[in-house]
Amino acid sequence: MASSTPLHIKLRDAPPRAVWALEQAGVAPLLARLFAGRGVRSMTELDDDLRHLLPPVGLLGIQAAARCLADAIAQGQRICIVADYDCDGATACAVALRGLALLGAAPGSLHYVVPDRAVHGYGLTPAIVDLALASAPDVLVTVDNGIASLAGVAHARAAGLAVVITDHHLPALRDDVVVLPDANVIVNPNQPGCGFASKNLAGVGVMFYVLLALRAEQRERGVYATQTQPRLDALLDLVALGTVADVVKLDANNRRLVAQGLRRIRAGQMQAGVAALFGAAGRDPRRASGFDFGFALGPRINAAGRMSDMTLGIECLLTDDPPRAAELATMLDAINRERRDVEAGMREQAEAMLEALLQREGERLGVPGAGDASAPSAGTAGAPSAGNASAPSALSIFDPSFHEGVVGIVASRLKDRIHRPTFVFARGQDGLLKGSGRSIPGFHLRDALDLVAKREPEVLKRFGGHAMAAGCTIEEAHFATFDAALQRVAAEWLDAATLSRTLLTDGPLGIEHFNAPTVRALDAQVWGQAFEAPLFTDEVDVVSQRLVGEKHLKLALRFVGEARGSALRDAIWFGHIEPVAARVRLAYRLNVDEYNGRERVQMVVEAAS
């Protein structure tokens, strides 16, 4: 389904002086242009050597956490990791368990628990503490959660447990004041008073840093006086996977972590479970990229938390037995296929509900063709407008048949369709509605929920998240009140600039770059959130176009200005069925299509104008 909000294709600004400086430092001209357009100004930012990582000492609380864990290991205490049910949480759990074992935790002293999304909800709840108590731990260590778990931490402390929180989410607010749980130690770059230069570490990155600090603490204590210091870089494949899958900003520090993980995977140095997941996804680890993490391995691990039990994902990352890893990866692949089927049906139903809503609203406003994604529309007085007047300021959708595990994915799809903050709700096992929201740039979703909570104090039972994604729990009877309150906040905060969909591109791509070596050079780089993969734009003549697989548009193109007899360019637009004009400006990526041993460069179209 096409988006009903107009798209503006915009050229990234690549300052010539920055491009020149990178070229003088030895960066290839095309890459220099791409890096400069993403804010890189020096070679130091591109150096992925681990010695350039920000030092752990900059993280508030990390030395106290190191001392606590060093004491626990020295005394043979039992440590329980409290994980989360997404890929970041699963990789963080595996990094914690593998790392603590490397650093001397006694056999049998390490355990973990992970919430069931449908039963326990998110974070260190009192129920999860009770589950952890079954292993008789002395210390609880949260990974990728805990910063807002006030009741759970209090429950654990009352039970006599030491609690170490490692997290990266925003803390809870009460009357606009940050409230932290009463843990023994908190390590989180986003807690008040933490001066760590990168606020973008994923949960797995925070745990990796805690292990670095723990090893340093043990070194100070003389633990390694007669033995070789453990190598923690063996965990970087997991750190890289969780960092990319959690869609955190790939600043220079995170890019180094990801680059180091990719380097090890390409060299065949990875956990058995990571190798098995590459196999299940049909991907070649020798050519591993961030794309593999975000769109192949990550979704298979996430599927366990969405549809089944994240224990499967964690066990896959923990096992050192390749046959067992392959078995678990196959199970995760099957669960992911089920997730895709459920998502497809739910998405179709949600889009039908959206069409009906747009039609009703359009008729009320007198907008011609409302509800038709391809129809032009005009703004209305007194409401923000970006060419989508029939869309609400924010969208909330619920149906009793919706599956709680995929509401976030469907919310993301609907958000992309109408370019509005979007929540999708499903009924949980406790009868409450569990909502997952996705936002657009310029609209802070967690802050919006905080304002809803202030204006309608009886509506939100729980909420949390960050700018672009958030979650909440409400009673079904309060759904309409929540919908109206969120729309009111959106109407107040959104303006025409925020509602304009802008696609940043890297401009034209010279014909000399249409070859497999260029594609491989681009794929070898670390791209991701806030350091997006290259997207080029050129004006082309469409020589032919046809549908393949009933849902993809296959194109044969000639760049404007090329001689009529020149070779045609292959292009495909996945998930797009509407024909394009005979002459059109396309935004596209490059990939290499391999078939019967032959390589062919093709353009993957993202947008047209």
Res 5: pLDDT: 62
Contact 533, 503 (CB under 8 A): no
Q: Six-digit token pair at 517?
A: 């070596």
H/E segment holding residue 156: helix 150-158
Low-confidence ranges of the chain (pLDDT < 70): 1-6, 367-390, 563, 565
350 and 405 in a single domain? The answer is: yes
Of the three residues 172, 204, 230, the one that is the final residue of a domain is: 230
Tell me the HSE value of 183 on the side-chain side, using a 13 A CA sphere. Answer: 31
Bridge partners (DSSP) of residue 438 are: 422, 469
Is 569 among the domain residues? yes
Give the domain range for residue 511: 503-608
> How many domains, the chain?
3
Is 246 among the domain residues? no
Res 384: pLDDT: 39
Of the three residues 195, 230, 265, the one that is the final residue of a domain is: 230
377 and 427 in a single domain? The answer is: yes
456 and 525 in a single domain? The answer is: no
CA gap 297, 210 in Å, rounded:
25
CA gap 376, 224 in Å, rounded:
69
Res 85: pLDDT: 92
Is 529 among the domain residues? yes
DSSP class per residue in 476-543: GGGHHHHHHHHHHHHHHH--HHHHSEEEEE-----GGG-SHHHHHHHHTS--BTTBPPP-EEEEEEEE
Contact 392, 329 (CB under 8 A): no
Is 127 among the domain residues? yes
Contact 434, 471 (CB under 8 A): yes
Of the three residues 230, 259, 276, the one that is the final residue of a domain is: 230
355 and 477 in a single domain? The answer is: yes
| Residue 469 belongs to domain with CATH number | 3.10.310.30
Contact 485, 387 (CB under 8 A): no
Res 335: pLDDT: 97
Is 122 among the domain residues? yes
Bridge partners (DSSP) of residue 544 are: 556
486 and 571 in a single domain? The answer is: no
491 and 532 in a single domain? The answer is: no
| Residue 211 belongs to domain with CATH number | 3.90.1640.30
Res 235: pLDDT: 98
CB atoms within 10 A of CB 37: 21
Res 369: pLDDT: 56
CA gap 374, 355 in Å, rounded:
12
CA 291 to centroid of chain Cα atoms: 12
| Residue 561 belongs to domain with CATH number | 2.40.50.460
546 and 430 in a single domain? The answer is: no
Is 334 among the domain residues? no
425 and 508 in a single domain? The answer is: no
CA gap 461, 472 in Å, rounded:
7
DSSP class per residue in 121-142: -SSS-HHHHHHHHTT--SEEEE
390 and 511 in a single domain? The answer is: no
524 and 598 in a single domain? The answer is: yes
Contact 147, 186 (CB under 8 A): yes
559 and 469 in a single domain? The answer is: no
535 and 483 in a single domain? The answer is: no
Is 430 among the domain residues? yes
Is 188 among the domain residues? yes
